[in-house]
């Protein structure tokens, strides 16, 4: 189980349910890299990436804004979603290029632009198919779960680096 600590940023009520909005801090490995001062990737990531991610959960217990919560998602679900999102469109791109090559050769049309169009068209269709599949799954399958709500007076343990 992959776990993350988040902070409740909003509590809203409907007629039947209470919803909480949980924000998590987006982490990068740039802070521990020795080349961070001269790295173009860090510069681009700092400009383009959002610093916080917000998730909405139905929660019936007592919770207030600023309270810490523990979120988790199964490693199997993360791997499955990654495989679907990355590998299926890539394989469709390759199969589309091969199909376009054979189809256009059978029609005596030797256009590389046509092969490229077949390849990207099949990759786009595969991506849309994966998106439709993931959204048709039960709502909890590929979404983090709320594992725990920490007490209101819970403070994180301070960890300091010992000097040599």
pLDDT in tens, the chain (164 residues): 888 888 888 888 888 888 888 888 766 556 666 666 667 666 666 665 556 677 888 888 888 888 888 888 888 888 888 888 899 999 999 999 999 888 887 777 777 888 898 899 999 999 999 988 888 877 667 778 888 888 876 655 555 555 65
- The three-state DSSP-derived secondary structure of the chain is CEEEEEEEEEEEECCCCEEEEEEEECCCCHHHCCCHHHCHHHHHHHHHCCCEEEEEEECCCCCCCCCEEEEEECHHHHHHHHHHHHHHHHHHHHHHHHHHHHHHHHCCCCCHHHHHHHHHHHHHHHHHHHHHHHHHCCCCCCCCEEEEECCCCCCCCCCCCCCC
């Amino acid at each position: 189980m992959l776990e993350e600590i988040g902070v409740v940023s909003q509590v809203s009520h409907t007629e039947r349910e209470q919803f909480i909005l949980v924000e998590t801090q987006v982490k990068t490995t740039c802070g521990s890299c020795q080349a961070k001062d001269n790295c173009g990737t860090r510069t681009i990531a700092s400009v383009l990436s959002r610093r916080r991610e917000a998730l909405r959960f139905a929660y019936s217990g007592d919770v207030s804004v600023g309270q810490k919560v523990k979120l988790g998602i199964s490693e199997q679900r993360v791997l499955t979603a990654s495989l679907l999102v990355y590998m299926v469109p890539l394989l469709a791109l390759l199969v589309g290029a091969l199909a376009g090559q054979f189809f256009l050769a059978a029609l005596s049309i030797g256009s590389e632009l046509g092969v490229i169009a077949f390849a990207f068209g099949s990759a786009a269709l595969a991506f849309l198919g994966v998106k439709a599949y993931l959204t048709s799954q039960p709502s909890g399958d590929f979404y983090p779960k709320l594992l725990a709500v920490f007490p209101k007076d819970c403070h994180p343990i301070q960890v300091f680096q010992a000097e040599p």
